[in-house]
Amino acid sequence: MMDRNLGATSATPGDIGALGLLYQWGRKDPFLGSSSISSDIEAKSTGTWPSAVASSSATGTVDYAILNPTTFVTASSSSEYDWHYASRDNTLWTTSDKTKSIYDPCPSGWRVPDGGSNGIWSKAGFDDTTYDSTNEGISFSISSPSKTWYPASGYRDNDVGSLYNVGNRGNYWSASPSSYVSYCAFSLYFLNYAGVGLSSNNRRALGSSVRCLQE
């Protein structure tokens, strides 16, 4: 796997450059993360970022997402917490034959990893999942002393699109739809006080981190 988040410029614990960008599940274009490792302060940009829009039959489509790559599409109970309105497309990041789709945001030769009980994180069997409260994240250890840094980059909330829980929570998308909740997808999830979920269910409209796997 990559040693850093998609969009990150660093893999060093405690470095703001390690936070990277945030993605709604199934979308190919990123959203800004934080400019702090411990606070919800949106990073600066030279571009224009429009206000978020609510998912609807007009805005909650792949075509709309492609034409409006910087617009965050919010979702609530009315759209079952998925930015993709009134339907579940489980192949946005991985096709039916489990190959990389055209909407996968990872660079050539890489892809968003599989998740769930058969996903990369569940199979890894991490030896060390101790939260680092100084650098705000976890140095996952698969076989000591080899470690990889996962910052608590927070997420963009599905209801309003704002940053939350930077320095408290890490959420890393897989390409796999949840087999338990139709509007969720599997992710790696951790909190600064509550351990690690290797195959958690999270709402697809969340803006979360991505860690790419080499094909």
Closest CA to 190 of 130, 143, 147, 146: 130
pLDDT in tens, the chain (215 residues): 899 999 999 999 999 999 999 999 999 999 999 999 999 999 999 888 999 999 999 999 999 999 999 999 999 887 789 999 877 889 999 876 778 999 999 999 999 999 998 888 998 878 788 999 999 999 998 766 678 999 999 999 999 999 999 999 999 999 999 988 888 999 999 999 888 999 999 999 999 999 999 98
Indicate whether this model's pTM tops 0.85: yes
Other CB atoms within a 10 A radius of the CB of residue 202 amount to 26
Distance CA 33, CA 19 (A): 7
